[in-house]
């Protein structure tokens, strides 16, 4: 694959006052990334990096907070002395290899700016003993914001440099920022070992602690058989509604961040449309999924992820209105409006008048759907394909929520 080249950019030009990421910040982060790449030439340090994929909640993807690593000085998986911290201090103490900053300065930079490392595909797609070159990259909120403001569909890229493990050449930071870098993304990282450093400031996930998919724990059906609505369109049962698992058709968060999914569920009466087209979510609306993390690898291969929530509606009683599902995800701090909605009724799934979905705090709402109770019962009881197939080898039809796919299970109380 050819490197994705970007025209040379003067890092000093057009720097507006008040931007979080200064020129100095980017230079320091790029320098730290180069030093970190040199550190990973140490086999023990690289092995420690790979071990981060086994941390609870990482789901096979490498990610860890370097501030915590340097503060504690221990490998979080073995509780032994950190090989990365040790190799970092040894390497940067060799004056000939330093670029512009001292070891203490770079460590302070890590701690003061809450720097983390992430490598979405490295542990699952590459064998450690076969790696002979590494792409080191750095992410800044400023670069992401500038590109999203130009194109709301921008999927994310980060500046990067490739280091060969058998090379003693250590490019200067000035050379790197002036000419040596190129841009990388998912496509690059899937075929080239890549790590990215930055202050990603991502939310805490509510996924299960050991990061394993345990859909079966949420699949036990209890109570009497679920019945269809009567001829008057009325249900006679109190129902529990579950979404045991979801998947993404592709990544919706910008590279290199994980996808964090949110779901609010209420009745049609509790979620209304405001004057500006934004769904108004009342205080009594349940949020059964709050920051469920789906890694970039999981999204790329469309892996089903357990929601590990016991229900989305605990008691859908016979007199209750249709259920209303509002999905959201964390994309960036940029205020971007998104339009689009579909409506599920007893007559089928159809396009609805577009609902303008705007940013809610740091969560972007991307899908607002109303599900008719009788329609949902009819599909699940009879196993009717809605045009998107079924979940695994079950008869549960899948439903589209933008780039999210999900299915329902129904139980009686």
Peptide bond just before 256 cis, omega within 30 deg: yes
Residue 334 has pLDDT above 50, yes or no: no
Whether 236 and 322 map to the same domain: the answer is yes
Q: Is residue 300 part of a domain?
A: yes
Q: What is the pLDDT of residue 70?
A: 97
Q: In the structure, what pLDDT confidence band is assigned to residue 202 with cuts at 50, 70 and 90?
A: low
Q: What is the pLDDT of residue 220?
A: 44
Distance CA 118, CA 49 (A): 9
Residue 333 has pLDDT above 70, yes or no: no
* Residues whose CB falls within 8 Å of the CB of residue 77, separated by 6 or more in sequence, listed in order: 51, 52, 54, 55
The two tokens of residue 38 are: 């040199």
Does the pTM surpass 0.85? The reply is no
Q: In the structure, what pLDDT confidence band is assigned to residue 225 with cuts at 50, 70 and 90?
A: confident
CB 114 within 8 A of CB 65: yes
Q: What is the pLDDT of residue 341?
A: 40
Three-class HEC string of the chain: CCCECCCCCCCCCCCCCCCCCCHHHHHHHHHHHHHHHHHCCCHHHHHHHHHHHHCCCCCCCEEEEHHHHHHHCECCCCCCECHHHHHHHHHHCCHHHCCCCCHHHHHHHHHHCCCEEEECCHHHHCCHHHCCEEEEEECCHHHHHHHHHHCCCCCCCEEEEEEECCCCCCCCHHHHHHHHCEEECHHHHCCCCEEEEECCCCCCCCCCCCCCCCHHHHCCCCCCCCCCCCCCCCCCCCEEEECCEEEECCCCCCCCCCEEEEEEEEECCCEEECCCCCEEECCCCEEEEEEEEECHHHHHCCCCEECCCCCCEEEECCCCCCEEEEEEECCCCCCCCEECCEEEECCEEEECCCCEECEECCEEEEEEEEECHHHHHHHHHHCCCCCCCECCCCCCECEEECCEEECCEEEEC
Residue 306 has pLDDT above 80, yes or no: yes
Whether 168 and 41 map to the same domain: the answer is yes
Q: In the structure, what pLDDT confidence band is assigned to residue 268 with cuts at 50, 70 and 90?
A: low
Q: Is residue 16 part of a domain?
A: no
Whether 52 and 79 map to the same domain: the answer is yes
Q: In the structure, what pLDDT confidence band is assigned to residue 213 with cuts at 50, 70 and 90?
A: very low
Q: Is residue 209 part of a domain?
A: no
Q: Is residue 230 part of a domain?
A: yes
Average predicted confidence (pLDDT) for the chain: 79
Q: Is residue 100 part of a domain?
A: yes
Average pLDDT over residues 109-136: 97
Least reliable range by pLDDT among 116-125, 235-244, 285-294, 377-386 = 285-294
Residue 253 has pLDDT above 80, yes or no: yes
Residue 215 vs residue 197, higher pLDDT: 197
CB 30 within 8 A of CB 173: yes
Least reliable range by pLDDT among 88-92, 174-178, 288-292, 391-395 = 174-178
Q: In the structure, what pLDDT confidence band is assigned to residue 280 with cuts at 50, 70 and 90?
A: low
Residue 273 has pLDDT above 70, yes or no: no
Number of domains in the chain: 2
Q: How many residues does the chain have?
A: 413
Distance CA 379, CA 397 (A): 7
Whether 238 and 157 map to the same domain: the answer is no
Nearest to 139 by CA among 253, 60, 59: 253
Whether 280 and 373 map to the same domain: the answer is yes
Q: What is the pLDDT of residue 87?
A: 92
Whether 167 and 308 map to the same domain: the answer is no
Whether 193 and 313 map to the same domain: the answer is no
Q: Is residue 382 part of a domain?
A: yes
Whether 52 and 191 map to the same domain: the answer is yes
Residue 316 vs residue 168, higher pLDDT: 316
Q: What is the pLDDT of residues 165-185, one digit of tens each?
A: 887 666 666 776 666 789 999
Q: What is the pLDDT of residue 342?
A: 36
Q: Is residue 33 part of a domain?
A: yes
Whether 133 and 237 map to the same domain: the answer is no
Q: What is the pLDDT of residues 20-69, one digit of tens each?
A: 447 789 989 999 999 999 899 999 999 999 999 999 989 999 999 999 99
Whether 368 and 397 map to the same domain: the answer is yes
Between the alpha carbon of residue 239 and those of residues 22, 61, 284, 413, the distances in Å are 54, 37, 18, 6
Residue 145 has pLDDT above 80, yes or no: yes
Strand partners, 16: none
Q: Is residue 7 part of a domain?
A: no
Radius of gyration of the chain (CA): 24
Q: What is the pLDDT of residue 359?
A: 36
Average pLDDT over residues 150-166: 92
Q: What angle, 0 to 180 degrees and rounded to 10, lies between the N-to-C axes of helices 83-92 and 103-112?
A: 140
What domain range is 224 assigned to? 215-412
Q: What is the pLDDT of residues 343-391, one digit of tens each?
A: 444 444 433 333 333 333 445 655 667 788 888 899 999 999 999 999 9
Average pLDDT over residues 78-89: 94
Residue 281 has pLDDT above 70, yes or no: no
Residue 343 vs residue 104, higher pLDDT: 104
């Amino acid at each position: 694959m050819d490197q994705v080249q970007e025209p040379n950019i003067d890092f000093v030009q057009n720097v507006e006052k008040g931007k979080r990421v200064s020129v100095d910040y980017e230079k320091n982060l790029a320098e730290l990334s180069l030093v970190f790449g040199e550190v990973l030439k140490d086999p023990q340090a690289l092995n420690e990096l790979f071990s981060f994929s086994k941390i609870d909640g990482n789901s096979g993807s490498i990610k860890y907070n370097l501030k915590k690593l340097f503060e504690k000085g221990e490998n979080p998986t073995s509780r032994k002395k950190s090989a990365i911290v040790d190799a970092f201090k040894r390497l940067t103490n060799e004056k000939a290899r330093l670029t512009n900053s001292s070891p203490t300065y770079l460590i302070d930079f890590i701690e003061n700016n809450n720097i983390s490392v992430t490598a979405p595909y490295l542990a699952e797609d590459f064998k450690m003993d076969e790696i002979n070159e590494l792409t080191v990259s750095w992410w800044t909120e400023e670069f992401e914001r500038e590109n999203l403001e130009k194109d709301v569909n921008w999927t994310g890229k980060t500046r990067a440099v490739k280091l060969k493990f058998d090379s003693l050449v250590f490019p200067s930071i000035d050379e790197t920022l002036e000419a040596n870098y190129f841009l990388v993304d998912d496509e690059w990282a899937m075929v080239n070992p890549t790590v990215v450093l930055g202050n990603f400031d991502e939310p805490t996930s509510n996924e299960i602690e050991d990061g394993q998919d345990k859909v079966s724990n949420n699949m036990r059906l209890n109570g009497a058989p679920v019945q269809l609505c009567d001829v008057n369109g009325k249900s006679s049962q109190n129902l529990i509604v579950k979404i045991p698992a979801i998947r993404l058709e592709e990544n919706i968060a910008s590279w290199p961040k994980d996808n964090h999914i949110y779901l609010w569920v209420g009745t049609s009466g509790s979620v209304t449309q405001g004057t500006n087209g934004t769904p108004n979510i009342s205080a009594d609306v349940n949020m059964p999924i709050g920051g469920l993390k789906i890694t970039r690898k999981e999204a790329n291969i469309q892996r089903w992820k357990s929601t590990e929530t016991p229900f989305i509606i605990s008691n859908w009683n016979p007199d209750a209105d249709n259920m209303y599902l509002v999905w959201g995800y964390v994309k960036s701090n940029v205020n971007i409006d998104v339009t689009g909605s579909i409506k599920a009724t007893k007559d089928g799934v159809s396009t609805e008048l577009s609902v303008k979905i705007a940013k809610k705090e740091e969560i972007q709402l991307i899908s607002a759907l109303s599900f008719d109770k009788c329609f949902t019962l009819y599909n699940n009881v009879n196993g009717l394909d809605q045009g998107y197939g079924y979940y695994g080898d079950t008869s549960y039809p899948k439903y589209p929520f933008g780039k999210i796919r999900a299915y329902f299970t129904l139980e009686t109380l």
